[in-house]
């Protein structure tokens, strides 16, 4: 979400992005940088510096699908919705539950 996309004479061009716009931007930018399919956003929070999300991706698709390798990434975006950082915090098989 660049400033140019919000400054084309649109009403509310100076407004901050909505939560759904931020989630779409995070999914799109992470996919572009990593080449991995984003399954879902599992956590989302507004911070003083921008936004923090946890995003689930498919790292390795397998057959059957329950054995596919997924990963959780922590993603940080600026207040404008631009990707500032990301890092993987967990890898797991789709069909396995978290240990208690």
Domain limits of the chain?
A: 14-93
Q: φ and ψ at 37, to 5 degrees?
A: -75, 130
Distance of alpha carbon 28 from alpha carbon 17, whole angstroms: 15
Give the pLDDT of residue 98: 74
Whole-model pTM: value is 0.79
Per-residue pLDDT of the chain (100 residues), as tens digits, is 554 444 444 455 678 889 899 999 999 999 999 999 999 999 999 999 999 999 999 999 999 999 999 999 999 999 988 999 999 999 999 988 776 5
Give the pLDDT of residue 24: 94
The H or E element spanning position 23 is: helix 19-34
CATH placement of domain 14-93: 3.10.450
């Amino acid at each position: 979400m660049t400033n140019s996309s919000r400054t084309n004479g649109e009403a509310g061009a100076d407004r901050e992005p909505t939560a759904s716009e931020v989630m779409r931007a995070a999914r799109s930018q992470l996919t572009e940088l990593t080449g991995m399919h984003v399954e879902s956003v599992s956590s989302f929070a507004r911070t003083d510096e921008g936004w923090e999300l946890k995003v689930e991706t498919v790292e390795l698709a397998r057959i059957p699908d329950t054995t596919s390798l997924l990963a959780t990434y922590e993603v940080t975006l600026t207040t404008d919705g631009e990707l500032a950082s990301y890092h993987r915090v967990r890898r797991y098989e789709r069909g396995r539950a978290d240990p208690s």
